[in-house]
Amino acid sequence: MAGAGRIELTGITLAGGDRVALVAENGRWTVVAPAGGDAVAGAEGLVWHPGALDPHINGWGGCDFLLDDPADHAAALATLTATGTTAFLPTLISCDEETLRAALARWQRWQAAPAVGAPRFCGLHLEGPFLAPERAGVHPREFLRAVDPVWLGRLLDDFPGLVRLVTVAPELPGAIALVAALARRWVTVGLGHTAASVQEVRAAVAAGARWVTHLFNAMAPFHHRAPGVVGAALGGGELTCEVIADGLHVAPEGLAIAYRCLGPGRLVVVSDGLAAAGMGDTPLRLGAPLAPRRGRRRGGRGPGGGLGGAARRGARFGVGGGRTAGGGGGGGVGGGGPVCAYHRGARPAARSRGPAAGGGGGGSGGARSSRAGGGGPAGGAMAGGAAEVAGFFTGEVTSGRNGAERLAGVR
């Protein structure tokens, strides 16, 4: 029974499977009790936030999302959920067509019958193969392709509704027409691995591009006379930008600039994690083994290799209220009840001011949450815009400033 200023929640199911009861008084959590057990003190140290959506993650727990069958790694993917990443877009890098089609077929089977406990599947992110060779990064250059809308259209037709985000270098010949074609299909277009000029970025935005893949990385640096993607994104109002906030890929000052320019509504923290993420000191693999680099943190981005580590680092650097990692749920993205997570620790410097703070969807099942452990909860306490970010990739955001016209242009 709940009295004035008191809320009691029973039967809450955590991401790890535990069931608890929660009590809040006067706006603060005061009791966390295992279902049927004694109360646990110290609930006031918990910070709750929507479960996070990671739209750029290449692997986790030994599973390379390009080469491995997720059905064989269901237990490992459940540990990703336990860090607070309750929804994701598995990301596939540039490869040969046979490998790509095999990966798409595996994820199509997963989409039809996902394992219980794994993050909610929101579609795939194709990072390539239409990328600038001089900004390819770890993408094998032999697998980059000239822009070919017919080839990609055939791929999308063969696997309908599977791909929700495609990263493209807009300066490539034919890229603007490709952006428009993807926009008509309601596939979100990201600009990345690019040396595009600001004029080429503006043309891509006019055609329907609405996303920037790992802002600052694998793109021409900002120059006051040649602002490029960075300048167009930070100086304009149309592009939502993902950023790897691990303190290594982008300096703290760069994160602060991005946050101040983009605000909480257009900055999204991603992990860009590899298969070694969540496994400690493990050889790196991204479609193929990667040579270790001196000073490189192995096993993913941020402490524990999870998105949560990157998000908490972002909070530490003063990037504290972004729509970071969004949230897994909302609309029909998933069902299963509200999705949330919590962790102990200092609150971020700034609270979320995102336009949508929820993270749940309709449907059956209890609420889910995740306690920090290993990589910590994805998104840290930097939540906001949960349903909105998930809708970005599913076409379910249909009105307002962040409506479908932002996702794919006017049809």
Split into its structural domains, the chain has a count of 2
Lowest mean pLDDT among 54-58, 79-83, 145-149, 288-292: 288-292
Q: Is 164 a member of any domain?
A: yes
| Structure confidence at residue 381 as a pLDDT band (50, 70, 90) | very low
| Nearest to 339, CA basis, from 57, 85, 77 | 85
Is residue 139 domain-shared with residue 197, that is, in the same domain?
yes
Is residue 169 domain-shared with residue 34, that is, in the same domain?
no
Residue 36's domain comprises 6-41
What span, in angstroms and rounded, lies between the C-alpha atoms of 194 and 220? 7
Is residue 135 domain-shared with residue 13, that is, in the same domain?
no
CATH code, 316 = 3.20.20.140
The tens digit of pLDDT for each residue in 155-206 reads: 999 999 999 999 999 999 999 999 999 999 999 999 999 999 999 999 999 9
The strand pairing partners of 20, in sequence order, are 12, 34
Is residue 60 domain-shared with residue 32, that is, in the same domain?
no
pLDDT over 80 (residue 407): no
Q: Is 21 a member of any domain?
A: yes
Is residue 29 domain-shared with residue 133, that is, in the same domain?
no
Q: Is 400 a member of any domain?
A: yes
Which helix (H) or strand (E) is 314 found in, with range? helix 307-316
What are the E-state strand segments in 244-339? Answer: 267-269
What region, left, alpha or beta, does residue 344 occupy, with left being phi > 0 and alpha being psi -120 to 50 degrees? beta
Alpha-carbon distance values, 171 to 212, 224, 319 (Å):
14, 19, 31
Candidate list 38, 148, 272, 281, residue with the active-site label: 272
148 is known as an active-site residue: no
The tens digit of pLDDT for each residue in 57-108 reads: 999 999 999 999 999 999 999 999 888 898 999 999 999 999 999 999 999 9
Is residue 28 domain-shared with residue 72, that is, in the same domain?
no
What is the CB neighbour count within 10 angstroms for residue 59? 30
Q: What is the pTM of this model?
A: 0.71
Question: What does the DSSP 8-state code read for residue 40?
Answer: B
The tens digit of pLDDT for each residue in 242-256 reads: 999 888 899 999 999
Q: Is 139 a member of any domain?
A: yes
Is residue 164 domain-shared with residue 69, that is, in the same domain?
yes
Is residue 183 domain-shared with residue 65, that is, in the same domain?
yes
Is residue 63 domain-shared with residue 22, that is, in the same domain?
no
Is residue 209 domain-shared with residue 230, that is, in the same domain?
yes
Q: Is 286 a member of any domain?
A: yes
Alpha-carbon distance values, 47 to 3, 50, 187, 343 (Å):
23, 10, 34, 5
Is residue 10 domain-shared with residue 145, that is, in the same domain?
no
Is residue 100 domain-shared with residue 159, that is, in the same domain?
yes
Q: Is 1 a member of any domain?
A: no
Q: Is 46 a member of any domain?
A: no
